[in-house]
Amino acid sequence: MNVIISASELAEDLAGANPPVLLDVRWQLSVARAAGEPPFDGRAEYEAGHIPGAVFVDLDRELAGSAGERGRHPLPDVTEFGAAMRRAGVSSARRVVVYDGGQGWAAARAWWLLRWTGHPDVRVLDGGLPVWDGQLSTGAPTPADGDFQPVPGAVEMLDADGAAALARSGVLLDARAAERYRGDVEPIDRVGGHIPGAVSAPTNENVAPDGRFLPAEELAARFKSLGAVEGTEAGVYCGSGVSGAHEVLALAVAGIPAALYVGSWSEWSSDPRRPVAVGPDPQ
């Protein structure tokens, strides 16, 4: 099943007899803002202009639980997540398309959660809102409630122990920037570095300058060079389970199944008993 959709394909689908449910998940990591800039407000961005028919979904409130020992963006309460998706009009028999402001991370997080909880057909707008050349709307739709009932476990997920084991038995990819992997800098979490055995694989290297994914064959070649090949179990982590979902999506584009460690480095590094590796090498 195709996991991404182009802007032209989305425009055609929205004009058809059975348009998809459209979710706008604009979000930005606050530390990525320039000094002195106000915090990013995804809802304000949405209200200023969105693809007609899209419903805003708040990543921090609806796609994650409260920050704590399980990480900065742990899994949301499944019952609350299901209710939020139904309010947005999500039904099991209707395709869902998710987009964000272009980075792709937030949209991928929504895609992964819906897939993990059993939705059969979710796609991400490749390149996000910047590639959309159609009209924008400022009016918020009021969709009829959907019927989606989340059932967790439809795709693989890792916990801390599972991630550590996979780093030894398969390939565990670290989707963060290389300098955070090496431990040169750590702007958010308790300590820098990486899970011992993990391989550096920044997710921003999976996309072209315009934010769209590289062709599937190029992604497959990249992941092969990192050890993600047929017959080898693959997993991904990042800082808090958001950009890692984007790498899982890139792997899916390449035809490679991979599990997500949702707690990621924010959970792993919060426990001083867990080992930390530094430098450019996995060990």
Active site residues: 238
Residue type, 155: V
Q: Tell me the C-alpha distance between 212 and 165, whole Å.
A: 32
Maximum CA extent, the chain: 56
CB 111 within 8 A of CB 245: yes
Question: How many Cα atoms within 13 Å fall on the side-chain side of residue 260?
Answer: 31
Q: Tell me the C-alpha distance between 80 and 111, whole Å.
A: 17
| Dihedral, 208, 210, 215, 221 alpha carbons, nearest 10 | 10
Q: Tell me the C-alpha distance between 50 and 23, whole Å.
A: 10
Q: b/e map of 189-199 (b: 16 or more CB within 10 Å)? A: beebbbbebbb
Q: Tell me the C-alpha distance between 11 and 167, whole Å.
A: 41
